Chains A and B, each alone.
Chain A
Amino acid sequence: MSAGRTAVVAKARCKYGKMLTLSDYRQLAGKSDVSYVVAALKTLPGYKKYFAEVNDSSVRRNLAEQLLYKWMFGNYIELCNFKFRQKNGFFRYLLKREEIAQIIKAIMYISAGEYENFILYFPMFLQKHSEVKFMELVKARTFREVLDFLKGTPYYKVLKPLTPEGALFPEIRIVETVMGQHFHEWLTTTIKKEFQGKEREEIEKCVLHSADIYNMKLCYRLKGIFKMTNEQVMDNYLPYHYRFSEKDMKRLLEKSDSEPIETLIRKHPYFKSCPDTEGMDFETAVSYSKLNFFRKKLMLSQYDSVVLFSFAELMEIELSNLTTIIEGIRYSIPSAEIEKMLII
């Protein structure tokens, strides 16, 4: 095992040890104002660095959330630094994913004429790590202009076929699907190129698990909430599977015509380890499934790629927990209720 690999594994587990515990969450959820949460975060070892200079008496929710975002990427990049020779490969995956998310957001904001809002919420630190010039991109006013700005990046080829005939912009759902497929294609190709043997097998499982979760959410949202037809749902799914195959998905969608889709999805083995809490919403249940899966991977895997991937997923869950706390406090929800919504 190379020194870089060992360092990533050790450092990631060490960082995981600094992540928030139940008592930390309780302490934070018990605060009466967002500023108190920020003040408390300043004292926690994992967050000190990112919140030290913030004036907690005047901090706003948006800024707090942006800093949390920065915390997640900061930690990830710190770990990637150990893999200096592979900066453009698999270890860029989180940045690539965020880059795609921001392009989708940019198209959405531009099509709605809300250019300034995109700028306000854009995580500027991402620009340093991205080949897409977002500050230029947002100057576009039509989809063709967006494509012009994306020339020279892999996204140009992906988005070009979507150029609409009459309308200025394609449907955002289609953009999302195409970009999601591109991301997974890139990820699987990169994995095949960079890893071999058991490591490849293990990291593929992680990636495909995420794809399964994405497809399950898709079924729940499109079919359960937006009442789309089975064909429409199948048009948008990711063609990557681990334990939720295309066949399973089709069968589930067919069955869902007579039974609620949420009940059907929850019967999947992914949800076996979910606590049997009454009223737990679907998204929380999905996060629990992720938490259990990636926690095991982080603890037991000996491959840096798997550990890093799992660590990123766990950080995302923590980020979502903190956002829940901040939102809960804003809406004066009792701490016990907030605690129930956390994924711990």
Chain B
Amino acid sequence: MAVEKMSLVSVSGPLKQVNKTLVRCCETKCFHLEPNYYTLTYGSAQFKTLKDKDIYRNLIKRAEDIAQGLGIEDKTVAYDGITMEAKHEFDEYFRSIEEEVGDLISYKGFLDESIDQYHQALRHIENLSNLDTDFKDIINCKYVKVRFGRMPSDSYTKLSFYSDKDFVFVPLDENEGYVWGVYFAPVSTKSETDDIFNGLYFERIRIPDYVTGDGETALADLSHQIAELEEQREEVLKQLSEVKEREYDCFLKVRSKLRFLDSSYEMRNQVSVINNRFHMAGFIPTRKLGAFKEALSSVTDIEIEDKPYFIDDRMKPPTKLRNNWLFRPFEMFVKMYGLPAYNGIDPTPYVAITFMLLYGIMFGDLGQGLVISLLGFILDRWKKVKLAPIMMRIGISSAIFGVLYGSVFGNEELITPFFHSEPFYTLMGQPHNIFQVSTYLLIAALVIGVILLISCMILNITLSVKRQDYESALFGANGVAGMVFYVSVLVAAALQLVLGIQMFTPLYIIFLIVLPLCIMFFKEPLAHVVANAVRGNVLQTQKLAVANAAIRTSDRLDENDARKLRKQLDYIQSMKNVRAVYGRMPSEAQMKLGYHKNSDYAFVPVSEKDGMVYGVYFTPKSEKAKVDEIFLGLSFERMKMPSELTKYKRYKASGKQEKTVKEKKSVGNMIVEGFIEMFETCLSYLTNTMSFLRVGGFILSHAGMMLVVNVLAGTELSAGMIIVQIIGNLFVIGMEGFIVGIQVLRLEFYELFGRFYVSDGKEFTPLQVNV
């Protein structure tokens, strides 16, 4: 019930293995590639991306031609059992089919084309049926070339421009934007005329040579010829169908695999390449690391290295929610609102519980709840609708509350409702139906709302402390101050109204109502004070850390060097915008640092291991690019800063904060804004609490709607009554069930999520191909 733990994995190997590796990565469906990892680390000048031509395009075209020839539909299937991967293997497979049926396919293509042309010619000749001249006489003209065909009507208009040319165009028919006709040109100007008509999009239609006689005779001849061609085509299809039957399954699998390989090939442009080796890095769920390595073990000469996700702070790990079967469908709502950060909290269980609870309370009916569940089951089983599993769960919740309310398809006499059992019956004044307990229902709804709102405030305080956002945790409307104010007002009001205890004493008002309000009003200056205190603390810790680091290295430095280093560090620390980068570099490279001693940086080695020196370099922001280049040239590899050194980073953050504080608004502005915010906050406590009244309102609305259905249906058992009951229930399920769903979602997103949830996560999108 949390966010899936991730590991940062880098895969590298010879360039020739890149396709195979990508294919395997896609097959694992758990590798979230970070295409910019290497270019971010080493710069785009060092690493190149692959941009080459698609090598599978021709094979795919051949597969499409074969499929068209054999009449195999465009379908993608699972390609289990297909071992071919290399280009030549596919080539061989397609060649074997082409050798067997290639001629037949070509012949079929020829027949198709001929039949099509003959049909068109037939259509053409139909327009010439009044022609009393023998076609043979026209076609066989010795000194005049004749072309039958059609051209777009627009082109026909343009013919007037060529009135001085040696040709005649005879329009025969015009329909659907085309002019059908024939043009005559002397043999000597044949090429020029053909070019003109070609430019005018003239589509030539060949009249078969044997078509003789006038229009009527030609029509009959052509029809006969088409019949003969179709007969031949049938024969060819019969022969092809045998091959199709034999190869169908295999061909579909091969083509699917080929498409998969083609799509995975396109992913090559996300891989970084240097010195004929490819490198890629990305995130994998830690629990799937073993399976991933196992899947890639079939690719030789590649290296897989896994590191903790935090090793590189520039790579933000993606978020993959992981919940049990009960809560999992509700992840949809969380994704809809926005995913939490990788280190954040997954609110799915909270959403799932509150959603089921609120839905059940608002739409409690045993019969209708079970119908919703059944509908959800059907939609999930056959249509795979995403909302269906949620329907199954909320349906059951609705059924459970239906038992409590004693409602079965609106009938409240089959089951004894909870308010008819002791001690509720006596406490509630012996009510007969649910409408008589409406006041209690509304109060209960408010109590539920209050509990949920307070739970959200507690969550917000916890998460804000975790984020070190003290303003939100201590002084915000959903922080400690806000919660004290809200709870105090509610407790005092409730005790005074229910038990008549006077709670609003001056002390109570001053300390538990006015003080929290003042804290909320002055939250900005207060937050500033806290931030300064924390920052001072951080600065002290940082000085200590730097001193420690310097002392640790002092055994390798003489007194003078150590003094110089400390001086340098002090100088850098005194600067407002300093940048600290942690990483490692080869020991020999550290020696070369002396060549750049005039540059504005300081390198503090922290430890040394396996010929690598680990340490931090500091640089003013203005010198960032220059210094980064120096360290890049020395093969410095950036890494996530160890926790004991992260104070350096905070230094940067606090520097930024200081700048923001300086840009702050005037006191007047702060007071006006604070007052408006206070007003809005107080109003929101009231409105958000009242908003939960709808929970009780919908219970009554449901009972009311079913009462109407029952009145319309009547009490006498008849076909009419059954029909009205069915339609009425379906209407209530469709309309009210839907509205309640929307209302609950609104409560979740608006009243609850807004108080504690920060959605700044990145979705886990495993590498996969769409075929």
Closest-CB distance, A94 to chain B (whole angstroms): 18
Is A106 an interface residue when CB atoms closer than 8 A count as contact? no
Q: Closest B-chain residue to A60, C-beta based?
A: B201
Docked CA distance A257–B451 (Å) = 66
Closest-CB distance, A194 to chain B (whole angstroms): 31
Please judge, given known A-B contacts A32-B57, A119-B158, whether A334 and B266 are in contact too, CB under 8 Å.
Answer: yes
Is B505 an interface residue when CB atoms closer than 8 A count as contact? no
Given the complex, which residues of B lie within 8 Å of A81, measured CB to CB? none
Given the complex, which residues of A lie within 8 Å of B54, measured CB to CB? 334
Is A283 an interface residue when CB atoms closer than 8 A count as contact? no
For chain A residues 309-344, which have a beta carbon within 8 Å of chain B?
Answer: 332, 334-336
Given the complex, which residues of A lie within 8 Å of B53, measured CB to CB? 332, 334
Judge whether A135 and B158 touch: CB under 8 Å. yes
Judge whether A53 and B177 touch: CB under 8 Å. yes
Docked CA distance A124–B155 (Å) = 7
Category for how many chain B residues contact A:
20 to 34
Please judge, given known A-B contacts A122-B158, A124-B158, A125-B154, whether A336 and B266 are in contact too, CB under 8 Å.
Answer: yes
Given the complex, which residues of B lie within 8 Å of A119, measured CB to CB? 158, 161
Is B200 an interface residue when CB atoms closer than 8 A count as contact? yes
Judge whether B64 and A58 touch: CB under 8 Å. no
Docked CA distance A135–B160 (Å) = 8
Given the complex, which residues of B lie within 8 Å of A66, measured CB to CB? 154
Is B502 an interface residue when CB atoms closer than 8 A count as contact? no
Docked CA distance A66–B153 (Å) = 13
Please judge, given known A-B contacts A32-B64, A123-B154, A135-B160, whether A52 and B199 are in contact too, CB under 8 Å.
Answer: no
Is A14 an interface residue when CB atoms closer than 8 A count as contact? no
Given the complex, which residues of A lie within 8 Å of B199, measured CB to CB? 116, 120
Docked CA distance A122–B157 (Å) = 11
Proximity string of chain B (122-165) to chain A, C-beta cutoff 8 Å, 1 when within and 0 when not: 00000000000000000000000000000011110110110000
For chain A residues 51-74, which have a beta carbon within 8 Å of chain B?
Answer: 52-53, 55, 57-58, 60, 62-63, 66
Closest-CB distance, A315 to chain B (whole angstroms): 19
Judge whether B57 and A332 touch: CB under 8 Å. yes
How many residue pairs link A and B with beta carbons under 8 A? The number is 47
Closest-CB distance, A92 to chain B (whole angstroms): 20
Proximity string of chain B (44-78) to chain A, C-beta cutoff 8 Å, 1 when within and 0 when not: 00000000011001001100100000000000000
Given the complex, which residues of B lie within 8 Å of A125, measured CB to CB? 154
Closest-CB distance, B75 to chain A (whole angstroms): 16
Proximity string of chain B (179-206) to chain A, C-beta cutoff 8 Å, 1 when within and 0 when not: 0000000000000000010011101000
Given the complex, which residues of B lie within 8 Å of A334, measured CB to CB? 53-54, 57, 266
Given the complex, which residues of B lie within 8 Å of A135, measured CB to CB? 157-158, 160-161
Judge whether A120 and B176 touch: CB under 8 Å. no
Given the complex, which residues of B lie within 8 Å of A138, measured CB to CB? 161
Interface residues contributed by chain A, number (CB under 8 Å) = 24
Proximity string of chain B (87-126) to chain A, C-beta cutoff 8 Å, 1 when within and 0 when not: 0000000000000000000000000010000000000000
Judge whether A32 and B61 touch: CB under 8 Å. yes
Closest-CB distance, A127 to chain B (whole angstroms): 7
Judge whether B154 and A63 touch: CB under 8 Å. no
Docked CA distance A132–B500 (Å) = 92
Given the complex, which residues of A lie within 8 Å of B61, measured CB to CB? 32
Docked CA distance A283–B199 (Å) = 30
Q: Closest A-chain residue to B160, C-beta based?
A: A135
For chain B residues 196-235, which have a beta carbon within 8 Å of chain A?
Answer: 196, 199-201, 203
Docked CA distance A32–B262 (Å) = 13
Please judge, given known A-B contacts A32-B57, A334-B53, A336-B266, whether A124 and B157 are in contact too, CB under 8 Å.
Answer: yes
Given the complex, which residues of A lie within 8 Å of B155, measured CB to CB? 124
Given the complex, which residues of A lie within 8 Å of B269, measured CB to CB? 336
Closest-CB distance, A65 to chain B (whole angstroms): 11
Docked CA distance A138–B160 (Å) = 12
Which of B57, B152, B160, B176 is the one whose CB lies under 8 Å from A63? B152
Judge whether A120 and B200 touch: CB under 8 Å. yes
Is B178 an interface residue when CB atoms closer than 8 A count as contact? yes
Closest-CB distance, A124 to chain B (whole angstroms): 3
Closest-CB distance, A116 to chain B (whole angstroms): 7
Docked CA distance A129–B86 (Å) = 58
Judge whether B60 and A32 touch: CB under 8 Å. yes
Docked CA distance A52–B178 (Å) = 11
Please judge, given known A-B contacts A63-B152, A124-B157, whether A53 and B176 are in contact too, CB under 8 Å.
Answer: yes
Given the complex, which residues of A lie within 8 Å of B200, measured CB to CB? 120
Please judge, given known A-B contacts A32-B60, A63-B201, whether A52 and B176 are in contact too, CB under 8 Å.
Answer: yes
Docked CA distance A119–B60 (Å) = 39
Q: Closest A-chain residue to B156, C-beta based?
A: A124
Given the complex, which residues of A lie within 8 Å of B153, measured CB to CB? 124
Extra pairs beyond A32-B60, A116-B196, A334-B266 (10, CB < 8 Å): A32-B61, A58-B203, A116-B199, A124-B154, A124-B155, A125-B154, A135-B157, A138-B161, A334-B54, A336-B266
* 15 pairs from A and B in contact (CB 8 Å cutoff): A32-B57, A32-B61, A55-B203, A62-B201, A120-B199, A122-B158, A124-B153, A124-B155, A124-B158, A135-B157, A135-B160, A138-B161, A334-B53, A334-B57, A336-B269
State the A residues within 8 Å of B (CB): 32, 52-53, 55, 57-58, 60, 62-63, 66, 116, 119-120, 122-125, 127, 135, 138, 332, 334-336
When A and B form their complex, which 9 residue pairs have the shortest distance between CB atoms, in order from nearest? A124-B154, A120-B199, A53-B176, A334-B54, A63-B201, A336-B266, A119-B161, A124-B157, A119-B158
